[in-house]
Structure 1
């Protein structure tokens, strides 16, 4: 089994600083095999915000798989936005925009979906999908394959289609060919875990999609600050969601979702069906 801590949308520049120490201490106790951060480390891609983000990341365990979000590209500085869109991100966070982690149980692939030409939307390119294929080529079929991106490839029905990353259907076709098991993302400041089967009706394939809320931002959009912990086995994934308890000033376990895999299809655990052996 591998344990992953999934943080997203830190938004340094609009951070509730009272959350940082409790978050760091809890992550240390969880002691993950991999720490995932799915974008928007800053609020406005300013130098001091990246410095704060870097200092916080340095207090957390590794290895770390980190991808940028749309907020990590300058909004108002036109030169930086279009000529050097991720220069500060690469200087302070990482210059690897296609991060990759592999051990004998999991492969974690980072995909940069942040783009200069749009304010908040994201995109995945053919070249990026080709890179995913290359990174996973030769990886054992027994290894659980995980994609990390800022913008979501799937969301519940009550979200708009435009909230999905651009070219999501094409990406899902590539992911099905690569045998991707889990899609991890952020952007919406909303927690969610589910199967891609409803939106993408693909023969004998359905991935598990895991969205994280904002771990530390003051912009909760109606949801408390939260993060995910994934416990990944070959044919089973448990997702713990931790939410901020304002009264007791700590993160506490809010709920747990369980998913099982049959072939290349991930489905939610159902106690009644499992008890009946169906």
Structure 2
């Protein structure tokens, strides 16, 4: 039985696009995907009311949902005490969906934290994979049922996907190599606000880097968008769904899990 995942990111409640949110919710209602994967930046300023609105919207979809933490989902630099010591107290209605592992028939979706409360560089919005975060993700990958497709979900692309926006994720290349070595089939992300699907060869394994667009008003090169991932056994493909005259188009060729290119 074919399966379908909707991959959405960077909704930015507080700067959300109501038309795009309604369009996405209607797509979910009409097509009933097996799960929604939200790869971060649910909010704009990590305010309680933004989390409440975003959490209620996601719960209203009526399908399994997992949310990753984005750089906009922790308090900003001007609130350093909250950022460093209690960054996750405002999640409200979204709390139970944060970093939730999803096990679907033949598919495991594993969280990977790519945000940091502080970094040794000026721009803390960029990605960072700590040893602990990678260890936690690898343990979940190892525990996945044998033979499952394994998708890892985080906010920042581990390496650049060729988009205008950048993630500059520290330790991202090493993390990607470790995930590929563990048999991960795809790493899903957001942050750059434009969709992409890039196969990356790591040794004898190919892992797909898949990025989603945004449903906020903070557009870059693409109109409001989310990804549809179609899964047929060990094969999957990514389609960008856009709120535009070209509503659905592939951004990858269908491939076997772990194919080399």
Please say whether Structure 1 and Structure 2 have the same fold, judged by a TM-score greater than 0.5: yes
* Counterpart position of 2:67: 66
Q: CA deviation at 1:253?
A: 1.6
Alpha-carbon distance between aligned partners in 1 of 2:184 and 2:218, rounded to the nearest angstrom: 31
5+ residue gaps, structure 2, are: none
Per-residue displacement from partner, 1:81-124 (whole Å, max 9, x unpaired)?
Answer: 112112213x3312565421113300100112121215311211
Q: CA deviation at 1:18?
A: 2.1
Alignment of 1:1-278 (within 5 A): 1-75=2-76, 76-89=78-91, 91-94=92-95, 97-118=98-119, 119-157=124-162, 163-197=167-201, 202-215=202-215, 217-245=216-244, 252-255=247-250, 257-261=252-256, 264-265=258-259, 267=261
Per-residue displacement from partner, 1:57-83 (whole Å, max 9, x unpaired)?
Answer: 121132111111000011132221112
1:3–1:229 CA contact under 8 A, matched in 2: yes
Q: TM-score, normalised by structure 2?
A: 0.89
Describe the shift of the 1:234–1:165 C-alpha distance in structure 2 as closer, same or farther (beyond 3 A). farther
Query: What's the secondary structure of 2:194's corresponding residue?
Result: coil
Q: TM-score, normalised by structure 1?
A: 0.84
5+ residue gaps, structure 1, are: 268-278
1:236–1:258 CA contact under 8 A, matched in 2: no
Query: What's the secondary structure of 2:95's corresponding residue?
Result: coil
1:97–1:112 CA contact under 8 A, matched in 2: no
Per-residue displacement from partner, 1:111-153 (whole Å, max 9, x unpaired)?
Answer: 1212121531121122222222222324344210000000001
- Aligned-residue CA RMSD in angstroms? 2.2
Q: CA deviation at 1:231?
A: 0.9
Query: What's the secondary structure of 1:258's corresponding residue?
Result: coil
Query: What's the secondary structure of 1:165's corresponding residue?
Result: coil
